[in-house]
Amino acid sequence: MAAKTLPTHEVPAMSVPPRRVIRLAWRGLALALLLALLGTASALADAPFGAYDLTVSSSTTQAGGHPDLTTGFALNTVDDPSGVDVATDPPVGDPGHVPHTISPTEPLRDVHLALPAGLVGDPTHVPQCDPAIFGAGLLGGVACPDDSAVGIAHLLINLGYGGLQDMYFPVYNLRPSDAEPAAFGFSVVAPNVEIRFAVRASDGGLTAVISGINQAARIFRQSLTLWGVPADPSHDAERGACLTANTADDGDPSTPPPATTYCPVAGPRVPLLRNPTTCTGEPLTTTLDVASWTHPDRAVRTTATSPAVTGCDAVPFQPTIALTPDGGSADAPTGLDVKLDVAQNRDPDGLGASDLRRAVVTLPEGYSISPSAADGLQACDAQHVGVGGDGPADCPAASRIGSATIQSPILASPLSGPIYLGPSPSPGKYQVFLVVEGSGVRLKLPGEIATDPTSGRITATFDQTPQQPFDHFTLHFDGGDRAVLAAPATCGTAEASATLVPWSGTSPVTATAPMTLAGGACPGSVPFAPQLSAGMVDARAGSDSAFALTVARDDRTQPLGAITSVTLPKGLTAHVGAVPHCGAAAAAAGTCPEASRVGKVVVSAGAGAHPFGLTGTAYLTDGYKGAPFGLSLVVPAIAGPYNLGTVVIRSAIEVAHDTQITVKTDPLPQVLAGIPLRLRAVGLVLDRPGFMAPPTSCIPSAVQAVVSAPAGGPSATLSSRFAMSGCSKLKFTPKMAIKAVASTKQAGAGLHVALTQPAGQANLKAVAVSLPKQIVIKLKALGKVCTAAQLAAIACPAASKVGGASATTPLLSQPLKGAVYLVQSGKSLPQLVPVLQGSGLTVPLIGATTFSKARLGTAFAAIPDVPIRTFDLDLPHNKRAFLETQKLPCRGAGAVVTFTAQNGAHFKRTVPVTARCAKPASKAKSTKKKKA
- Burial of 93: CB neighbours in 10 Å, binned 0-12, 13-18, 19+: exposed
Per-residue pLDDT band for 702 (boundaries 50, 70, 90) equals: very high
What is the structure's pLDDT at 891? 63
Q: How much is the average pLDDT of 682-704?
A: 97
What is the structure's pLDDT at 27? 37
Kindly tell me if the per-residue pLDDT of 275 is higher than 80: yes
First to last CA, the chain: 155
**Could you count the other beta carbons within 10 Å of the beta carbon of residue 262?**
22
What is the structure's pLDDT at 885? 85
Per-residue pLDDT band for 699 (boundaries 50, 70, 90) equals: very high
Per-residue pLDDT tens over the stretch 733-754 = 999 999 998 888 888 888 999 9
Q: Which helix (H) or strand (E) holds 929?
A: helix 921-931
Q: How far is CA 457 from CA 372, 499, 542, in A?
A: 17, 16, 52
Per-residue pLDDT band for 2 (boundaries 50, 70, 90) equals: very low
Q: What does the mean pLDDT of the chain come to?
A: 87
- Cα–Cα distance between 461 and 449 in angstroms, integer? 6
Helix (H, G, I), strand (E, B) or coil at 752: strand
What is the structure's pLDDT at 892? 64
- Cα–Cα distance between 418 and 440 in angstroms, integer? 16
- Cα–Cα distance between 808 and 778 in angstroms, integer? 31
Per-residue pLDDT band for 329 (boundaries 50, 70, 90) equals: confident
Per the model's pLDDT, the better-predicted residue between 40 and 55 turns out to be 55
Per-residue pLDDT tens over the stretch 608-641 = 889 999 999 999 999 999 999 999 999 999 999 9
Under a CB-based contact definition with an 8 Å cutoff, are residues 833 and 844 in contact?
yes
What is the structure's pLDDT at 272? 95
Beta-carbon contacts of 882 under 8 Å, excluding residues fewer than 6 positions away, are 748, 777, 778, 781, 782, 783, 802, 822, 875
Q: Which helix (H) or strand (E) holds 927?
A: helix 921-931
Q: How much is the average pLDDT of 464-471?
A: 92
Per-residue pLDDT band for 778 (boundaries 50, 70, 90) equals: confident
Beta bridge partners of 531: 552
What is the structure's pLDDT at 490? 83
Kindly tell me if the per-residue pLDDT of 131 is higher than 70: yes
What is the structure's pLDDT at 474? 96
Per-residue pLDDT tens over the stretch 784-812 = 899 999 999 999 999 999 999 999 999 99
Helix (H, G, I), strand (E, B) or coil at 314: helix
Per-residue pLDDT band for 724 (boundaries 50, 70, 90) equals: very high
What is the structure's pLDDT at 893? 81
What is the structure's pLDDT at 521? 64
Q: How far is CA 225 from CA 65, 184, 242, 696, 741, in A?
A: 16, 12, 16, 98, 126
What is the structure's pLDDT at 21? 37
Kindly tell me if the per-residue pLDDT of 665 is higher than 90: yes
Task: State the SS3 of 686-738.
Answer: ECCCCCEECCCCCCCEEEEEEEECCCCCCEEEEEEEECCECHHHCCCCCEEEE
Residue 27 DSSP symbol: H
Beta-carbon contacts of 526 under 8 Å, excluding residues fewer than 6 positions away, are 331, 489, 490, 556, 557, 558
Give which of 597, 760, 627 is closest to 694, Cα–Cα.
760
What is the structure's pLDDT at 28? 35
Helix (H, G, I), strand (E, B) or coil at 921: helix
Beta-carbon contacts of 924 under 8 Å, excluding residues fewer than 6 positions away, are none
What is the structure's pLDDT at 525? 77
Kindly tell me if the per-residue pLDDT of 95 is higher than 70: no
- Cα–Cα distance between 315 and 275 in angstroms, integer? 11
Per the model's pLDDT, the better-predicted residue between 744 and 284 turns out to be 284
Task: State the SS3 of 379-423.
Answer: CCCHHHHCCCCCCCCCCCHHHEEEEEEEECCCCCCCEEEEEEECC
The number of helices, as runs of H, and strands, as runs of E, in the chain is 7, 61
Q: Which helix (H) or strand (E) holds 578?
A: none
Per-residue pLDDT tens over the stretch 916-928 = 765 655 544 544 4
- Burial of 153: CB neighbours in 10 Å, binned 0-12, 13-18, 19+: buried
Kindly tell me if the per-residue pLDDT of 25 is higher than 60: no
Least confident of 64-78, 94-108, 383-397: 94-108
- Cα–Cα distance between 711 and 670 in angstroms, integer? 9
What is the structure's pLDDT at 414? 92
Beta-carbon contacts of 619 under 8 Å, excluding residues fewer than 6 positions away, are 582, 587, 592, 596, 597, 598, 631, 632, 633, 634
Least confident of 465-469, 495-499, 724-728, 828-832: 828-832
Per-residue pLDDT band for 526 (boundaries 50, 70, 90) equals: confident
Per-residue pLDDT tens over the stretch 336-366 = 999 999 999 999 999 999 999 999 999 999 9
Q: Where are the beta strands (DSSP E) in 11-145?
A: 51-58, 69-75, 77-80, 101-104, 108-114, 120-121
Q: How far is CA 172 from CA 135, 146, 737, in A?
A: 12, 8, 117
Per the model's pLDDT, the better-predicted residue between 918 and 606 turns out to be 606
Kindly tell me if the per-residue pLDDT of 38 is higher than 50: no
Under a CB-based contact definition with an 8 Å cutoff, are residues 647 and 669 in contact?
yes
- Cα–Cα distance between 807 and 869 in angstroms, integer? 7
pTM confidence score: 0.82
Per-residue pLDDT band for 689 (boundaries 50, 70, 90) equals: very high
What is the structure's pLDDT at 826? 78
Kindly tell me if the per-residue pLDDT of 562 is higher than 50: yes
Q: How much is the average pLDDT of 507-515?
A: 93
Per-residue pLDDT tens over the stretch 705-714 = 999 999 888 9
What is the structure's pLDDT at 86? 47
Q: How many residues does the chain have?
A: 932
Mode of pairing for the β-strands spanning 164-174 and 368-369: unpaired
Least confident of 36-45, 100-109, 468-477, 549-558: 36-45
Least confident of 130-134, 187-191, 867-871, 926-930: 926-930
Helix (H, G, I), strand (E, B) or coil at 384: helix
What is the structure's pLDDT at 338? 95
Per-residue pLDDT band for 98 (boundaries 50, 70, 90) equals: low
What is the structure's pLDDT at 584? 96
Per the model's pLDDT, the better-predicted residue between 372 and 21 turns out to be 372
